Amino acid sequence: MPCVRTVSRGRLRSRLRGRLQGLLRGRLQDSLHHWLRGADAGSGTVAGVMLILLVAVMLSVVAAAGNLLVCQTRARSAADLAALSAAVALRDGVDDPCGVASTVVFSFAREFAGSGLGSGDAMRLDDCVIDGEDMQVIVAVATQVPFAPHVERSSRAGPVECA
């Protein structure tokens, strides 16, 4: 007679359950690992693109700020020169000192256009006021920044009273 091994139902169930859980756990781990590994594909590219976009935005902000600073300096210089010229013209008795200021601003703008630093129409005399013996001018300079199309600077010039 052959040797028959008998196994209790409880033991058989636990063995089958253990093997089934092992197979399922292995397959589940393999499929989960495969799914997660597939999720990482391309994430380095996305991170690299985001980094490049961040650097591009930062450089654009720095360039816009630099352009604004240059235009403010240019407007301040033109306003000072125009106010001084108009004040001297007023002292010398010229009929239209604001015309002198306008000519100075136009020449200043043409000089910058000739040097390649801007266009000739990028600078204009916005206001010119005679206040007693003083001259006050406001000069506007166009920028290349979309949210600030121009900057304005004012200057005042005239004789100083001696004590």
pLDDT digits (tens, 9 = 90+) for 31-79: 656 655 655 667 788 888 999 999 999 999 999 999 999 999 999 999 9
- The sign one gets for the Cα dihedral 109, 113, 116, 122 is positive
Cβ distance 79 to 150 under 8 Å?
no
pTM for the full predicted model: 0.66
C-alpha 29/C-alpha 12 separation (Å) is 25
C-alpha 28/C-alpha 108 separation (Å) is 77
pLDDT for 69-109, tens place per residue? 999 999 999 999 999 999 999 999 889 999 999 999 998 88
